[in-house]
Structures are given as C-alpha cells and as structure tokens.
Structure 1
Amino acid sequence: MTAAVTTAGPGGPGAGLPFFVYGTLLPGEPNHDLFLRDRTAEERPAVLPRALLYEGPGYPYAIEGHGRVHGALLVAAPGVYGELLGLLDQLEEFLGPGHPRNLYERVVREVELPGAGEPGGGAPGSVRAWVYLAAAAVTRSLRTGGVLVPGGRWTTARAPGGANAP
C-alpha cells in the first residue's frame, strides 16, 4: 500500500501537485464552477486506488480501503496554485495535518490515469496528487456505520443537494 504523506502548506513534498477530486468539485457538480472555474489548466478522469467512498451529508468521503474511487485529476492554472490550495483547504475544512477539527486530511497519494500508457493514451500511468480523505474521527464513524457508495462513483449514487466535498 502507498503511504500517505500529509503536508500543511504549499512548500512541502506536495508543492505544486495536481488535485484529485471525487465529489461536488467534479466537472458538472455544484462546487466545480464556484471553486475551479478559470483556476484549472487541465482536468481529466482519474482513479484513486486503495480507497473506499462513503455517502456524506450531501457530499462524499473517501477513506483508505480495498476499493477504487473514481474522480478527476485537476492541474492548477498558471499563477493560481496557492490561491486554489487555500480555497480547497477552506472548503474541505482542513486546518492542518492531524488538527482535531479537520473534516478532511489533505494527503499525497498515487492516482491512476485511465488510458495512460496505451497507444494515444499518454503517460505516465499514475501521478502523485493531493487528495482530501476523511479525517480520523470521520473515518472511524464511517467504518462503523457509514453507507458505502457502490463502485466508488459518487455522481451516480449521491444524495441531492450537496455543498461541501472533494
């Protein structure tokens, strides 16, 4: 299993990495236009391996597990990386690594790019990206009583009316 590395600010091991999103920040979802319009240079389908997706109160949570979460890889537009990182940290209620009030933890994970490595599909087959995973207290709650999203594709199984989420 790939170890997750958490970094609080844009100057650590994850500086400049793309973002993997899997909920209301996906293209066509409510927070995409609010937070990402004119702030991305590239958006493409991606999969987070070794993760499970759970329903949340209008938005999903991903946690470590034996499954796959489908989403999108987003590359920040030139000159807006710091702004985008701050906006997403605020949206996801990430206050810093291991903070007791975090809703999500921002971690570095390997994300797979479907079609990469195939003729005409591009390369590499996976990239490191920031991912917002449920914080420890939320993860414990989900593991004991959460509702798993079958297939790891939130847009096909979500409850209507979300406002928050990766």
Structure 2
Amino acid sequence: MMTVRDDHSRLPFFVYGTLRPGEINHSWLLRGRIATETPAVLHGALLFDGPGYPYAVSDPRGHVQGDVVRPVDDLYEDVLADLDRLEEYTPGAADNLYERVVRDVRTYAGRTLPAWVYLAAPAHERDLRASGSPIHGGDWKHR
C-alpha cells in the first residue's frame, strides 16, 4: 500500500544505495546523525543501476534490500532537507530525479513499518524500464 504525503512526518527513511551504512553518502551525510540503522526489505519494488547510484521503481515482482535509518530527533529536519537535496527532490516539482513517498518496509526481525523512500521520478522510471540495467536480487551492495 502506498500513501504519498509530504507533511514532514518524522518517519524513518529506507535507504538502499549510496546512503546505506558503509557506502559513500552515508559517511558524509548520515554518520553521527542517525539514532538507529536496521536492515530491511522493501517489497514491491525493483532496483536499477543508475549512473553511479541506484534507482528503485514500484513493481510487484521485486524487492529491494536496504536499511531503515532513523535520524536523531534534534537533527531530523536537517537530515530531511539534506536527503531531499541529495536526491534532487522538491515537493511538487516536475523535474525531480526522485520522488519521496511513504512505503511499508519489513525489517529482518519481521516488523513492518512505514518509511520515507526515494523512488525514481516518473520520467526516469520510464527510461529505466525501457533501457535500464536491473540489479538482480535487489541489493546495491552485492550488485
């Protein structure tokens, strides 16, 4: 089930590429700003290899491996703004690279929870489906 909202609810973020622990963007953008990191899976999505970073797109046939990260409370708004900038997402903009949406993710411990997820914006999604390179197994770290 997808619920799109942009009310800046303090949901955690599901990260699946360069923002995962041990990856380049985690090191400079999230390290020291995250209260918890939990391995999780996003069902109903496929992962594609982009130019240096991945894109997830909605697709009932797939799943994406990643991590749920919860920012430190006092830093939440700053982390949200930094992630939106990194993902080239502006609410309502037609030329977004990604769209920030709410999706249910499942932790490895079996807990289901809502999280913000950056999915490929519609124009990029069309291109990926037409000529992109899917990442089999849905895991950026093991591509």
Structure exhibiting the larger radius of gyration computed from Cα positions:
1
Report the equivalent of 2:137.
Answer: 151
Does residue 141 (structure 1) correspond to residue 127 (structure 2)? The answer is: yes
- 1:46, 1:114 within 8 Å by CA — same for their partners in 2? yes
Unaligned runs of 5+ in 1: 117-124, 158-166
Distance in 2, Cα, partners of 1:4 & 1:46: 19
Structure 2 residue 30 is matched with structure 1 residue 36: yes
Task: Tell me the SS of whatever aligns to 2:128.
Answer: helix
Aligned length: 142
Q: Which runs of 5+ in 2 are unaligned?
A: none
- In the aligned structure 2, how far is the partner of 1:54 from the partner of 1:4? 22
Distance 1:45 1:128 in 2: 14
Give the Cα–Cα distance (whole angstroms) in 2 for the partners of residues 38 and 60 of structure 1: 24
Q: CA deviation at 1:155?
A: 1.1
Distance 1:154 1:33 in 2: 16
**Counterpart check, 1:85 vs 2:80:** yes
Alignment partner of 1:56 is 2:55: no
RMSD: 0.9
Provide the secondary structure at the position in 2 that maps to 1:84.
helix
Question: Structure 1 length as normaliser, TM-score?
Answer: 0.83
The answer for the alignment partner of 2:117 in structure 1 is 131
Alpha-carbon contact 1:103-1:134 (below 8 Å) kept: yes
- Structure 2 length normalisation: TM-score? 0.96
CA distance in 2, matches of 1:4, 1:155: 28
Q: 1:6 deviation in Å?
A: 3.4
Which one has a larger percent strand, Structure 1 or Structure 2? 2
- The whole-number CA distance in structure 2 between the counterparts of 1:4 and 1:131 is 11
